[in-house]
Structure 1
Amino acid sequence: MLPGDQTAKGNFSSVMAFVLLGFSDLPNLQGFLFGLFFLIYIFILTGNGLIIIITRVDSVLQTPMYFFLANFSSLEICYVSVTLPRILVNIWTQGRSISLLSCATQMCFFLVLGATEAFLLVVMAYDRYVSFCNPLHYPLIMNHKMCIQLAAGAWLSGVPVQVAQTCQVFSLPFCASNQINHFFCDIPPLIKLACGDTSLNEVCVYAVAVLFAMISFLLILGSYVKIISTILRLPSATGRSKAFSTCSSHLIVVLLFFGSVTITYLRPKSNHSAGTDKMLSIFYTIVTPMFNPMIYSLRNKDVITALKKLLHKKTV
């Protein structure tokens, strides 16, 4: 009997724990997967940590764009830390049991931070929109107080909705199986385990996905349509090239994150398969945080210069 096996009585669930199957279907790759995920986690912590440090210590990077980038890097560290450490522990110990409370806590933080990422990407797009389309008023509009308010709004706006959604999912009776065929506690695999009518939960998932993902994506898309039209009117080819380089970095992250999230949460329950869900989840839980430091750093001369100055100070 697997840890956390449960029996259902009447109309309610007696589940005290779940079993995260994760990558147990790949028994010969457990050592490789542990090493791979461990290196990825270290890379994410180091890369995003360096962005936070250089945006704090380098005076050239004391601008709204880099303020939001530092927030984004902080978010990525928190976001990946909700799932990756648990994956590493499960692979290392082969103990896949997770308590009901731990599962609910993981899901809640994951959903809240996911909403924060969506809103923060919108804020970053708005910052670029003001910078390109209204440059003369940029310092006035994106003042320090406005930046703090926008960042705080991005971090906090999703909390009430996602806490409520977590409570709604965990109010469902789980009377079939307690084995979650996923590597963390996410909504689609948990709804699959619920017995009874889950149509209300599915409607809520769609509504929240549309609110946080689709609307956010459309706002970002609208911003960049106006930004690109402004860039195309620039007289200098060098100026156009530099502007496109800055914007394309943001758009790559946007497409990676929103593409995988939309497919995961807006597909009908009947179309969900464990393998596809895992693959898509890897994109928005691991791949995007991993590529963030590379996309924003390697394509940005100011960040590279600041990083070289920081490393030079450390070696002197």
Structure 2
Amino acid sequence: MDSAALDRFEAGRGRLASLAYRLLGSAADAEDAVQDAFLRWQAADREHIVVPEAWLTKVVTNLCLDRLRSAQVRHERAAGAWLPEPLLEGDPMLGPADTFEQRESVSLAVLTLMERLAPVERAAYVLREAFSYPHAEIAGILDITESASQQHVHRARRRVAAERRGGGEVDPASARRIVEEFLTAAVSGRTERLVEMLTADATAVSDGAGLARRLLRYTSRERIASFVRAGFKATPAKRRLAGGTPAMHIALVNGVPAVLAVVGDRVVGAVAFGVGDGKVVSLYGIAAGDRLTRLNETWRQREPDAPPVISAW
């Protein structure tokens, strides 16, 4: 491969990775898809590729669709033990974030909701909402009609809107203050205050620190408050499991504030918060090590924006 062809691929690598991440919800799988696309680009008759960006977009999209349709992935995700991989703010894999739709499409809440869409619906939704592709181009990428593209996007929008909790965007500073207060209440054992800070339809999902075979799900304020209180209660056993005494930082993860439990330079757990109308709408707790690999890589490359909220938990 000549340097011009290599440079052309590398120039679009970030966009391809962010597309694959939105489609797959996994940074590792997204990187694999992009690498497979590179191998196909390397082997292709590039002189006959009129628009390389469109060709690569179609290749990556279809590689992701093949994976979403595979029996192994369907089994893994149907088993109820899968959550999207969280990414730290500033990670280039998060991709475009100029519009509300682009930012929302990479939130853990929407990535989780998209698991309920058919693969082609998910692809059409991502291409339209996150990358602003016209329906004519989406039809070409997915080998469907333009009318079918419109229908897929319409159905996907309707399903996401029907299950979305909370309103529109929240000021980041306000959201951070709410999460700080929620964390303070959790650590101090103020369960009643936790209940007050949750919306009536709040939800919480946790991977059980990677120890549970299925995700833990809670849908009542009282149960969520009890779960959060128990989860944030410091014990010697939890410190042993974490490999030390964590400090609690607040950072942005997939566009929302999150509490990160950090031991040394290693993030051992993340709880991402959805906030709306001054209250907590949703919580996503992730502590399985293989789901925090890329977040950890990004965390080690930068200094925290602020000192920990709790220096020794």
Q: TM-score, normalised by structure 1?
A: 0.29
| Higher share of residues assigned helix | 1
Higher relative contact order, structure no. (Cα contacts within 8 Å, ≥ 6 residues apart): 1
